[in-house]
Amino acid sequence: MESKTEEEHFEVRSVEEEKELRDKYDSLTKETEGRICRKDVINMWRQMITCPAVDYINSTFEKMNINENVPLSFDDFRNIWLKSLAAHSAACRNVRSEILAEFNRFDANKDGFIDTSELKQMVECQGETISDEDLEEFFKMADTNCDGKISFEEYAEVFLSDKL
């Protein structure tokens, strides 16, 4: 049996989600005099999704063999939106997995947190140095609950934001 990709399983899960998609489509058709094309979908994503989704949308258009300037029906819009959202979600999970792997390398004692000595040790193992001031500055930025250690969520927040 052939395995299915995640994007093939990504579907609208409720009547409310279907209505939300229909509302997005209707809103776009009003703004574009009834002609939605690739650039309109990309612009809508840019307004709604925090990380750039242009690659997901372009890839979905290409996979569906839809020309850039062809007006989209609601069904096309729905399929493109859902497949792009699935690709975006998968990419976010991959990034999160990479950040977790890096966090686990820093967490030498495997207690689920990074303290200053673990961070300093990891930096030194990579042949780098970090001043006590830089170490303290990083901790002030990352340790949002001020408990003297950095949880995975705090660590991920630093690397998913533009704080660095």
Section 115-139 average pLDDT = 87
Asked if pLDDT for residue 2 goes beyond 80, the answer is no
Q: What is the CATH number of the domain that holds 111?
A: 1.10.238.10
- Could you tell me the residue range of the domain that residue 151 belongs to? 107-160
Residue 133 lies inside a defined structural domain of this protein:
yes
Q: Are residues 124 and 82 in the same domain?
A: no
Q: What pLDDT is stored for residue 12 in this prediction?
A: 66
Q: What pLDDT is stored for residue 121 in this prediction?
A: 87
What is the total count of domains within the chain?
2
Asked if pLDDT for residue 72 goes beyond 80, the answer is yes
Q: 128 vs 56, which has greater pLDDT?
A: 128
Residue 84 lies inside a defined structural domain of this protein:
yes
The one-letter amino acid at 126: Q
Last residue within a domain, chosen from 42, 67, 94: 94
Please, which pLDDT band fits residue 3 given cuts at 50, 70 and 90? Answer: very low
